[in-house]
Amino acid sequence: MAYEVAAPKYVRLAQTLQGRIEDGTYPPGSLVPSENQLVQAFGMSRPTVVRALDLLKRDGWLESRQGFGTIVRGRPEVVEQKGQRGREALERAESTAPGRLVEVDQVPVPSRVAAALGVPQGTKVLVRRLLIEEDGEPMELSSSFFPVGFAEGTSLADSAPLPEGLRAHLEARKKIRFDHVTERVSARLPSEEEAGLLALSPGEPVLSVLVIACDVSGQALQVADVLLPADRQELEDTYRLG
């Protein structure tokens, strides 16, 4: 059984502050509110605020300048190198992807997807499942989940591959805007169906990248479970040493 664990308070605060940097509330070169102001504004303890600021400094969003305070640096270059699996799941056009659409259906929501979408266990959700292949060998299984009612006014329930990415399709049809993506990477054993599609041997694990795409309010618009055969992938990330 998989359990979803809420992010610590300091991580959630860091994500909120990062969002304000990205939307221009705290533009590059500006001063971040003081620790006292953040404690009062968010009702969190000083140690929580300090840890959140330290996290953003470590990742290159903020820097401390003696005599000035904490300054916004803006979006660090290394951030652009992260989240590529999530970006592909949102922006890849199904009709031109190197693979095939293997399923479009209403299915009982998986437990970890239910928590991300904010729907009760057992709820039926719409899934679009895309199998990516390379030289005839399956390399990735991307399953995108949506609340059933969310498909109204779109082609999400159609069995034909979409000519544009899911993000572009939804933003055009539903007049919504994707704001940020959270990715959770874990290892697990695939279901029998997943193992068959990925041509895996019994007991062979997969890497699961759970991609949660939200609007500016934090409401999940799409959740994708991207499965990668562990022996056919090389994942690379770049991070800043602080």
- Per-residue pLDDT of 51-91, as tens digits, reads 889 888 877 888 888 777 889 987 765 444 445 667 788 88
Closest residue by Cα to residue 208 from 116, 122, 136:
116
- Structure tokens that stand for 87 in this block: 């970006």
Rounded average pLDDT over 189-215: 91
For residue 236, is pLDDT > 60?
A: no
What six digits make up the tokens of 130? 């895309």
Q: Give the model confidence (pLDDT) of 224-233 as tens digits.
A: 999 988 765 5
**47, 59, 35: which is closest to 9 by C-alpha?**
47
pLDDT at 2: 39
Write out the H or E segment, with its range, that includes residue 54. Answer: helix 46-58
Under 8 Å between Cβ of 154 and 170: yes
pLDDT for the residue numbered 59: 74
Q: What count of other Cβ atoms lies within 10 Å of the Cβ of residue 159?
A: 10
Bridge partner residues of 226 (DSSP): 142, 209
H/E element holding 144?
Answer: strand 137-147
Could you read off the pLDDT of 16-65 as tens digits, one per residue? 998 888 888 998 889 999 999 999 999 999 888 998 898 888 778 888 88
What's at 87, amino acid-wise? R
Q: Is the pTM of this model over 0.75?
A: no
CA distance 120 to 55: 33
Contact, 100 vs 197, CB < 8 A?
no
User: How many Cα neighbours within 13 Å face the side chain of 77?
Assistant: 0
Q: For 136-165, how does the pLDDT look when each residue is reduced to its tens digit (9 = 90+)?
A: 889 999 999 999 988 999 999 999 999 999
Contacts 24+ apart (CB under 8 A), 1-7: 1/111, 2/111, 2/112, 2/188, 4/112, 4/115, 4/116
- Per-residue pLDDT at 85: 66
Q: What is the CA radius of gyration of the chain?
A: 20
